[in-house]
Amino acid sequence: KILIIGACGQIGTELTQKLRQLHGTENVIASDIRKLNIDVVNSGPFEVVNALDFNQIEHLVELHQIDEVYLMAALLSATAEKNPAFAWDLNMNSLFHVLNLAKAGKIKKIFWPSSIAVFGPTTPKENTPQYTIMEPSTVYGISKQAGERWCEYYHNIFGVDVRSIRYPGLISWSSPPGGGTTDYAVDIFHKALSDKTYECFLSSETKMPMMYMDDAIAATIQIMQAPVDQIKIHSSYNLAAMSFTPTEIAAEIKKHIPEFTITYKPDFRQKIADSWPASIDDAEARKDWNWKHEFDLESMTVDMLEHLK
Ligand code: VAH
């Protein structure tokens, strides 16, 4: 059985639905800090859990005979800058709790999401390789970088099967993002449809790696289903689909909504975005477990607008 911690978030909602399709609703326990009135909560088993409370997680694991945990609870980059101590506490200690459950033999497999935020201003910006300089300059990036080191350590020393992906910015229509720097690429679609105009909190030429949620979910399922000997990297895999600037996504939206206009008013998130790569080399994921993306900027825009209309 599977436990998803943080099932009500942007990734968690879609991941829970997909896992329930694959493994049966009763075998996938959704959990989050509060019970929201949304599909994930109403359509299958749901538990309230505090990701910082080891005993609560352990109790759920025993109660439901869990063998796989997807730990999707975290503070994202913009929110983490506003609350560094809590971000560090949540992002690190929730991971330790799950790693320690695996070390104790209570669960068999873990998925933990990392991010392109593990890279920093001294990292090569274009086609950022799997192995390169990593000096993250954000609270969120520091927590993801440290988390990756601990995942690898728990694998090497205790044999824990933990699998991880460095997600780029994720774009989806079914649930809102929660406090990231790449959120503009979701907001822009909602505002294009409702107001025909969008004020972007990043500058026009800020190029960042992005991915449509369908691809992100497919990659997550794929890495978790891969035979253990195909997983060669036990920190986290680079993963990529597309890269674009606010100018480029605005132009793509304009093809469908000709009246659409965009203005720019960069805020504190600009500095975060500037510290991250513009594009990612994900050759290892493609080689080790056959990762392939499906959506590019054009097909993603069509699909987003169709669903949001
Ligand atoms: C953020 N969406 O902006 C996240 C992500 C690529 C960055 O991890 O914080």
Contact at 8 Å (CB) between 260 and 196? yes
What's the CA gap between 258 and 305, in Å, rounded? 13
* Ligand 1: residue whose CA is nearest its atom 1: 180
Total length of the chain: 309
- Give me the pLDDT at residue 176, please: 85
- Give me the pLDDT at residue 37, please: 84
Is the CB–ligand 1 distance for residue 181 below 6 Å?
A: yes
Q: How far is the CA of 123 from the centre of ligand 1 (A)?
A: 17
Q: Is 167 a catalytic residue?
A: no
Q: pTM of the prediction?
A: 0.97
Q: pLDDT digits over 174-224, tens only?
A: 988 889 999 999 999 999 999 999 999 999 999 999 999 999 999 999 999
Structure tokens at 127: 């086609």
Structural domains of the chain sorted by starting position, each given as residue range(s) with its CATH number in brackets: 2-169+210-238 (3.40.50.720), 171-209+243-308 (3.90.25.10)
Of all atoms in ligand 1, which is nearest to the CA of residue 179? 9
* Ligand 1: residue whose CA is nearest its atom 4: 180
- Give me the pLDDT at residue 45, please: 97
What's the CA gap between 50 and 33, in Å, rounded? 5
* Torsion of Cα atoms, 51 then 52 then 54 then 58, to 10°: -10
Contact at 8 Å (CB) between 141 and 228? no
Query: Ligand 1, residues 77, 183, 242: which to mutate, most atoms within 8 A of Cβ?
Result: 77
Query: Ligand 1, residues 72, 112, 115, 207: which to mutate, most atoms within 8 A of Cβ?
Result: 115
What's the CA gap between 114 and 111, in Å, rounded? 10
The 3 state secondary structure assigned to the chain is CEEEECCCCHHHHHHHHHHHHHHCHHHEEEEECCCCCCHHHHCCCEEECCCCCHHHHHHHHHHCCCCEEEECCCCCHHHHHHCHHHHHHHHHHHHHHHHHHHHCCCCCEEEEEEEHHHCCCCCCCCCECCCCCCCCCCHHHHHHHHHHHHHHHHHHHHCCCEEEEEECEEECCCCCCCCCCCCHHHHHHHHHHHCCEEEECCCCCCCEEEEEHHHHHHHHHHHHHCCHHHCCCCCCEECCCEEECHHHHHHHHHCCCCCCEEEECCCCHHHHHHCCCCCECCHHHHHHHCCCCCCCHHHHHHHHHHHHC
- Give me the pLDDT at residue 68, please: 98
Of all atoms in ligand 1, which is nearest to the CA of residue 182? 3
Of all atoms in ligand 1, which is nearest to the CA of residue 76? 9
- Give me the pLDDT at residue 218, please: 98
Is the CB–ligand 1 distance for residue 277 below 6 Å?
A: no
What number is the ipTM of this complex? 0.96
- Give me the pLDDT at residue 178, please: 83
Q: How far is the CA of 102 from the centre of ligand 1 (A)?
A: 27
Task: Write out residues in the chain with pLDDT < 50, as ranges.
Answer: none
Please provide residue 227's backbone torsions phi and psi, each rounded to the nearest 5 degrees: -55, 145
Q: pLDDT digits over 27-39, tens only?
A: 999 999 999 888 8
- Give me the pLDDT at residue 175, please: 85
Is the CB–ligand 1 distance for residue 115 below 6 Å?
A: yes
Q: Which residue among the candidates 140, 154, 184, 198 is catalytic per the annotation? A: 140
Is the CB–ligand 1 distance for residue 114 below 6 Å?
A: no
- Give me the pLDDT at residue 209, please: 98
Is the CB–ligand 1 distance for residue 169 below 6 Å?
A: yes
- Give me the pLDDT at residue 41, please: 86
